[in-house]
Amino acid sequence: MICHIKIKGVLHLDWNTNLYDQKHSFVSKYGKNLIELLEPTAGEKILDLGCGTGDLAQQLDEIGVDVIGVDRSEKMIKQAKTKYPLIEFSVQDARSMEFQQEFNAVFSNATLHWIKPPSQALQCIYNSLKREGRFVAEFGGKGNVQIITNAIIQQIEESGFEFQAEHNPWFFPSISEYSTLMETVGFRVTYAQHFDRPTKLEGENGLKNWIHMFANQLFEGIPVDKKEEMITKVEMQLKELLFNEDHWIADYKRIRVIGIKE
Ligand code: BEZ
């Protein structure tokens, strides 16, 4: 189960790394074709931003890339180091990284929708790149998991609780919004795409597991027994729309971008 802890008033995600590796391995599986967009070559120095438990960093390492993986979760980094002891990993927050002109590329899969404000992270990404370096990222775009989120909010409100907008942990921009932010810090945006990527959540409990893993923050302040009742109602509400024989389909919408540091 994922928990949320508050340090100095800021919410931090406390990932369950085993659940992440076992039931949500699709995160790094989908990341494999983002590596194709990155077009890494041996000898390049590449930062994997939001590396999780290190699976994509390991693939870059196998190609001969000099890769450093960073993630703001201590648990993820601990697990990454255990799985891939020869790769360099460290705990870093994208908004306060201090790398200066070190990397040929910054690569980020399924991370940037967790990071607010986005411009602070973009500035650090920009600073960390060498001139002509590239930033290649994929994350949740405008409308991502909207059907699931709307159903959760509806159940919270119908149960007599107030949904607080600041409990929504995600930033899901359109490509025009994100390209503008990239241009503001100095990137030349050479590629931007917004696409549907229906995502299979394995098993009868796929949606419930996904909510426990990724969407707990929406229920901040709600007692656990009430929350579980609401999740059951969300499942009933969405079954016809998102359940198919033996699995759920989450309504993912992604954006992919490439920016060049000029
Ligand atoms: C995503 O990868 O799009 C995502 C993952 C968890 C929560 C929300 C979005």
Q: Residues 156-180: pLDDT tens digits?
A: 999 999 999 999 999 999 999 999 9
Q: Which residues pair with 105 in a beta bridge?
A: 46, 134
Whether the model clears a pTM of 0.75, i.e. scores above it, the answer is: yes
Residue nearest to atom 3 of ligand 1 (CA): 140
Rg (CA), the chain: 18
> Which atom of ligand 1 is the closest one to the Cα of 170?
8
CA 262 / ligand 1 centre spacing (Å): 30
Which residue has tokens 């059951």?
A: 232
Q: Is 148 in the pocket of ligand 1 (CB under 6 A)?
A: no
Map out the domains of the chain as residue ranges: 3-144+170-202+252-261
- The answer on pLDDT for 6 being more than 60 is no
In our burial notation (b when 16+ CB lie closer than 10 A, e otherwise), range 32-51 reads eebbebbebeeebebbbbbb
Residue nearest to atom 7 of ligand 1 (CA): 214
* From the candidate CATH numbers 3.40.50.2300, 3.10.450.200, 3.20.20.70, 3.40.50.150, the one assigned to the domain spanning 3-144+170-202+252-261: 3.40.50.150
Token pair, residue 83, equals 């799985």
Q: Residues 9-64: pLDDT tens digits?
A: 344 456 677 766 666 666 667 777 899 999 999 999 999 999 999 999 999 999 99
> How far is the CA of 113 from the CAs of 7, 51, 64, 217, 256, in angstroms?
20, 14, 29, 14, 12
